[in-house]
């Protein structure tokens, strides 16, 4: 299986829409069981941390199980950080296929998310690098590496902000 840029865009737009619509189970289905989800933090020198095992990350899940746990807490209102759930609007742009080898596609895109909660609208923006795995006949996210460019934030950042 191969994908063209329009198919990649459609997949990424759908993933963002599922977050906006809070369709958590369908969103999780976009991820490979071994999917790594990582958003490093910026160090004091303005460099991104390089190792989620020994340095601080804003978010790090080594596989989909971490995402499943996070979604469980959101859905069962066991997450004070997401109660009440914010309303979000994701905007993706500059989507490009960086490389495609065999059944894996490397994709890079920029994004902005607006989030409304407690009568306040916050804006988050950054760049994401995604590895799509095509071996199952449908694209699945095998790795998501997120660079949050406005790292000075007023609230806890969560998966639905990205």
Q: What is the pLDDT of residue 79?
A: 54
Total number of domains in the chain: 1
For 60, the 3-state DSSP assignment is strand
pLDDT of residue 117: 84
Tell me, what CATH number does 50's domain have? 3.10.450.50
pLDDT of 65 reads 96
pLDDT of the residue at 8: 98
Q: What are the CA-CA distances from residue 2 to residues 13, 37, 79, 109, 134 (Å)?
A: 18, 23, 39, 19, 7
- Give, for 100, the enclosing helix (H) or strand (E): strand 87-101
**pLDDT tens across the length of the chain (162 residues):** 789 999 999 999 999 999 999 999 999 999 999 999 999 999 889 899 999 999 999 999 999 999 999 899 888 866 555 556 789 999 999 999 999 999 999 999 999 999 998 888 999 999 999 999 999 999 999 999 999 998 777 777 888 888
**Cα–Cα distance, 19 to 50 (Å, whole number):** 27
What pLDDT is stored for residue 82 in this prediction?
A: 56
Expressed as residue numbers, the domain containing 49 is 5-161
- Tell me, what's the pLDDT at 55? 93
The tokens describing 109, both together, are 């895109």
Answer for the pair 19, 88: CB distance below 8 angstroms, yes or no.
yes
């Amino acid at each position: 299986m191969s994908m063209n840029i329009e198919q990649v865009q459609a997949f990424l737009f759908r993933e963002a829409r599922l977050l906006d619509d809070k369709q958590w189970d369908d969103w999780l289905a976009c991820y490979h069981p071994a999917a790594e989800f990582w958003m490093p933090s910026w160090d004091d020198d303005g460099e991104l941390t390089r190792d989620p095992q020994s340095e601080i990350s804003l978010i790090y899940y080594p596989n989909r199980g971490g995402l499943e746990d996070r979604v469980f807490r959101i859905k069962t209102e066991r997450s004070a950080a997401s109660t009440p759930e914010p309303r979000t609007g994701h905007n993706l742009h500059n989507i490009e296929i960086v490389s495609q080898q065999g059944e894996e596609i490397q994709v890079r895109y920029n994004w902005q998310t607006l989030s409304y909660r407690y009568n306040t609208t916050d804006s988050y923006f950054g760049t994401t690098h995604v590895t799509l795995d095509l071996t199952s006949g449908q694209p699945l996210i095998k790795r998501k590496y997120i660079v949050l460019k406005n790292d000075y934030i007023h609230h806890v950042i969560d998966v639905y902000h990205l």
